[in-house]
Structure 1
Amino acid sequence: MNQSDYTQIPAVPPPAGQTSNFVDPPSQEATMIAVSTVMMALTLAFVSLRLYTSFRVTRKPGLEDWLCIVALVLSFGHISGVLLLSHKTRHMWDVPLSWFLDDYWKIRLFANLFQSFAYFSSRLPILMLYLRIFGETRGFRIACYVCLALVFAVSLVAIPLLSYYCAPFPSEGWHSLAVFARCKNILNWAIIQGGLDIFLDLYIFILPLPIVLRLHMPKRQKLGVLAVFLTGFLAVLASVVGFYYRYRLTYTNDVNWNEGIYICTIIVEINIATICSCMPACYAFFRHITEQRSSSSPVHHVLQPELPNTSSTFFVKQDSPAWLPELSLVELRDVREDGSGNGLRDVETEPLSNDSAPHKPGSYHVV
């Protein structure tokens, strides 16, 4: 049978009471375009605001800012690939078999590989930010590295699987129907990966909360910082929704139709992770604007590390981003009750004034 004959053969037989429609059937194309457009616009806006804050407001960019750019580019590459196939997200009985004999598998492999890299890169900025702020604490640093290794493994292990199951063997060629039959086997990995995605997003979400909750600062400022990190729960919700559609994709025969919705959840999940990593910078930007309007005098942020004895260590890195003033702490070592000691490094400090807050041992303005 030649390829032209496949144009009238559905990929799967229609269910009872249904007939194949190759002309104008329902599809997920409009939904995919709408979701992609909204998420691209939101991600571009948040990343742009982050970069503006880091490069123009504080003039102190970090590695995580450059990683955000990488995440943005890879996400857009993934979206470009899936949109090229969006018109094929029909019910399987409305998809002619010939569609799997053109460049479908080349584009599909391109999009799937970009998805793996985009997922990995979308988690990197927030983890690098954690290390930059809280990395002096050995246990926290190890927890971050473990998370990085897990994200790397879960994201990039899909590459050899995709290369084996969803690409033709040397003897087959890109137009072989054997690829169509073999690529279904990778759907079992989609379920495993979906469960691991939920675990890792919860891991990333919970990781900084114990440290943030233990910070000694005015309640209003602590709630503001906590709210910034709590936005990471959006990524957890996106992973849970994505898992549901992974399940439907794996255990139903209507692959293309369910894959359209599943791809939408993946687009949301990847871009929400990038957006969440921009929230601290966005918070600092709007706070900066508010403070500029409310007062022309510098605002001093009260930091009150608790030093229970005359030799204590407060582990928050001194090179924390300037756009997170509440967390821009230095490591305080061997600071005594009178404020003396050798623990203040490379930062100008001054004791709290009487009109700002009562003096407590170990309390400083960061100027």
Structure 2
Amino acid sequence: MSSSETLDGDSIVAILSASVLIGASSPKYPNLRILDLIRKYSDYILANNYTIKAEDLTKYFGTPPPDAPLLIAALGGEESMAAFLTAVIQVEDIIPHPTSPDIVLPLFIALTAMTSIAVGLRIYSRHLVAGGVKAPDWFTVAGYLMTIAWGVVAILHSRATGHYQAYWDKTWHSLRESYLTYLTLTAFYPWVMMMIKFSLLLFYYEVTPSRYFAVRWAIYGTTFIVVGNTIASFFVTLFSCQPVNYWDHLLYDPCKANLKTALIVFGVIYIVTDVLIWVLPMPLVFQLKLKTRERVLAIITFGIGLVACVASGFRVDAIIKYQNYSSQSSSSLMIDAWTIIELNLALICGCAPAIRALVMYYAPKILDSVATSNLLTKSASDDNQAVENDKSDDGAGEVADESEKPDPQAEVKPA
């Protein structure tokens, strides 16, 4: 077949779907690349006059007897299954082999380093400026540790995914591990996000005077939405497929709910809560007696949280594109990447007010130190200049005195 030919999108999706079913239904070959496994099926079919029976699947590929008829039915019947699997091998030369993006580990290292600095500065600031570490800070530390844990699992997911992203380039063992780690990430994510949002909401509650009852009720309402969204997201993720290890029961149509749609809805709700959390402190900023410059700085400090909103939007976009396999991609690593960005930016933005307080605490001292240093430098420079001027004057006087002294060797002549 000509190398210039390409498979259309429907054909790629059909081969992806068949690869998952063949891999899941061939327990004798869990560590064989699925495309090579399909070749084994094709060789068997060709050797047996284009026929394959349920008992053959059990005998030669280890398919459980109850699953064998279901596999044949899922692939359109015995004749269609035989024709399709042999056709896959015939077009093997033009089957694409897209690679997975190598992005999770570098992102994790870079953003964890930045977040560690931000959280460390927050804790130091609270200890130095605010009189000690309080409940919101402990929620931040908990969110930070949970974010690191999430990132570690994402790295495991990246390794399970491997170099190639298409299902036919994986083994069933690696594909199964990828399903497990991704389910873990998806179920764990809402709890990490809730912890980070709790740290901000509790901080706002502590700094909001009781007379601002509307703001406090808004904090209660936002907290209720966050908790409800977290619990719903966790249970929908965990039980949208029954049993939970749905990858071992793919022939039984275990996933009744549309998890992709649910994750998009939950993601949008989190974006709404991000906006609410950004808006909550604004009434305080505008009602406090602040100079214009200080008010603008306060708005900017709290407004940094909009950066996390943008990252959340990109994460939802990644879910739309990569949650389910398609002819364009069968890798969910971009969802992992945007989630790492979102969680770390949320932590960094949450630390911004404390870091600003630390800067304001040290700024006068630094400015005084710089001013004192400049004054001492100028004074020393003036003293040095004065000494140089004195030396210059002394030198000129000595020359003048020397020129006026009589020469002792000179002959004195009588007048």
- TM-score normalized by structure 1? 0.70
Query: 2:338 corresponds to which letter in structure 1?
Result: T
Alignment of 1:90-101 (within 5 A): 90-96=164-170, 98-99=172-173
Matched, 1:3 2:27: yes
Is 1:259 aligned with 2:332? yes
- Match runs of 1:1-367 below 5 Å: 2-5=26-29, 7-9=32-34, 18-19=94-95, 21=97, 26-28=99-101, 30-87=102-159, 88=161, 90-96=164-170, 98-99=172-173, 102-136=176-210, 137-165=212-240, 168=243, 175-177=248-250, 182=255, 185-250=258-323, 253=326, 257-295=330-368
Query: Contact 2:100–2:331 (CA<8 Å) still a contact in 1?
Result: no
Structure 1 stretch 160-169 or stretch 204-213: which is displaced more? 160-169
CA displacement, residues 262-312 of structure 1 (integer Å, 9 cap, x when unaligned): 21111111121111110011111122121112248xxxxxxxxxxxxxxxx
Alpha-carbon contact 2:118-2:351 (below 8 Å) kept: yes
Distance in structure 2 (CA, Å) of the matches to 1:181 and 1:100: 20
Equivalent residue letter for 1:8 = R
Contact 1:105 1:167 (C-alpha < 8 Å) held by counterparts? no
One-letter amino acid of the counterpart of residue 312, structure 2: S
Paired with 1:92 and 1:183, the residues of 2 have a C-alpha distance of 24
Q: Is the 8 A contact 1:166 1:179 kept in 2?
A: no
User: Aligned partners of 2:190, 2:256: CA distance in 1, in Å?
Assistant: 16
Kept in 1, the 8 Å contact 2:136–2:198? The answer is yes
Q: Percent identity?
A: 19
Q: 1:142 to 1:277 in 2, by over 3 A?
A: same
CA RMSD of aligned residues (A): 3.1
3-state secondary structure, aligned to 1:157? helix
Bigger helix share: 2
> What's the CA shift for 1:135?
4.7
User: By how many angstroms is 1:100 displaced?
Assistant: 5.8
Q: Which residue in 2 is equivalent to 1:336? A: none
Note closer, same or farther for the CA distance 1:167–1:66 as it changes in structure 2 (3 Å cut): farther
Measured after TM superposition, the shift of residue 174 of structure 1 is: 7.0
Structure 1 range deviating more: 275-284 or 210-219: 210-219
Deviations 1:10-38 (A, max 9, x none): 599899984254xxx5212x211111112
8 A contact 1:78–1:115 mirrored in 2: yes
Secondary structure at the aligned position of 2:326 is classed as coil
In structure 2, what is the Cα distance between the partners aligned to 1:179 and 1:79? Answer: 32
**Which amino acid counterpart does residue 108 of structure 1 have in structure 2?**
Y
| Equivalent position SS for 2:321 | helix
Provide Cα deviations, 1:163-214, integer angstroms capped at 9, x if missing partner.
2135735xx7874445996398311111111221221111111222232123
Based on CA coordinates, which of the two structures has the bigger radius of gyration? Answer: 2
Q: Is the 8 A contact 1:4 1:98 kept in 2?
A: no
Question: In structure 2, what is the Cα distance between the partners aligned to 1:86 and 1:183?
Answer: 27
2:332 counterpart SS class: helix
TM-score, scaled relative to structure 2: 0.62
- 2:260–2:323 contact (8 Å) kept in structure 1: yes
Give the Cα separation in 1 of the matches to 2:182 and 2:323: 17
What letter is aligned with 2:27? Answer: Q
Query: Which structure 1 residue ranges, 5 or more long, are not aligned?
Result: 297-367
Q: 1:188 to 1:100 in 2, by over 3 A?
A: farther
From the superposition, tell whether residues 216 and 200 of structure 1 become closer, same or farther in structure 2 (CA, over 3 Å). same
My pick for the range that moved more, 83-92 or 225-234, is: 83-92
Change (3 A) 1:52 1:194: same
Q: Deviations over 1:79-123 (max 9, x none)?
A: 111110103164334542504664444433332232121111111
2:181 is paired with a residue of what secondary structure? Answer: helix
Match of 1:299 in 2: none
Following superposition, the deviation at residue 4 of structure 1 comes to: 4.3
- Paired residues in the alignment total 290
Mapped to 1, the partners of 2:327 and 2:313 lie a distance apart of 21
- Greater shift after overlay, 3-12 or 87-96? 3-12
Q: Aligned with 2:103: secondary structure?
A: helix
Which residue of structure 2 lines up, in the alignment, with residue 345 of structure 1? Answer: none
Is the 1:43–1:274 contact (alpha carbons within 8 Å) kept by the matching residues of 2?
yes
Structure 1 contact 68–274 (Cα < 8 Å) conserved = yes
